Amino acid sequence: MHEPSLIQLQNVSKIFGSGGASMQALRGVNLTIDGGEFVAIMGPSGSGKSTCMNILGCLDTPSGGSYRFKGVDVGRLERDQRALLRRHYLGFVFQGYNLLARTSALENVELPLVYRGTPARERHRRAERALAAVGLSGWAAHTPGELSGGQQQRVAIARAIVTEPAVLLADEPTGNLDSARGREIMELLMAFNRDLGITIVMVTHEPDMAAYARRTVRFFDGAVATDEQNAAAESA
């Protein structure tokens, strides 16, 4: 039997507000992403890409259409069930890092495991392994204020992968970094996609960062305008 696609949006719409004040952010979006893909989502401000990302991350729900994750209709799940889906299958990386300021790198990385109820010893082991995977073995005790922007984003990525998610959702992950640090982060994401099989969906406005993905989906006016394979990434 053919396995369902990992992510499937069918005719998804999203409307904010009501009546004369309503605004349609998504207009009939159809998007399928298979396990193991690395997809960049691009588009001008207001095109719907961030709204789409919030729906993929179970942070918001569609007004119409359906979102299926591993064949499960996410729209039919209760709020706590969507929270469990987020906790067990999704990892998040944001432009602003979102680290706890007075907490060590190790403790920041452990946070998703705390929510899962993972025992302390296991949490420490897995967090140390995740920090090693992003090249920060010697920085576990440092707080975010003692780390550079690139190092803080590495901690954020370690926190996202410590649960071994099926999908990593990255929203402008290089937006606050210089080009050299940005390339380092993209190489890291490529390695996790290639070596660990983590599916990556990344929102970016930077074409040179989107070029690291194997596929680029462009949004315009709340709909998918183009969906193309990236020949440069395919040959890499």
Q: What's the pLDDT score for residue 162?
A: 93
Q: What's the pLDDT score for residue 231?
A: 76
Mean pLDDT per 10-residue interval, the chain, length 236 residues: 82 91 94 96 93 93 95 92 91 88 95 91 95 93 94 93 93 89 92 93 93 96 94 59
Q: What's the pLDDT score for residue 72?
A: 93
CA atoms within 13 A on the CB side of 142: 14
Q: What's the pLDDT score for residue 21?
A: 86
Q: What's the pLDDT score for residue 123?
A: 95
pTM flag (> 0.75): yes
Q: What's the pLDDT score for residue 95?
A: 82
CATH number at 7-235: 3.40.50.300
Q: What's the pLDDT score for residue 2?
A: 56
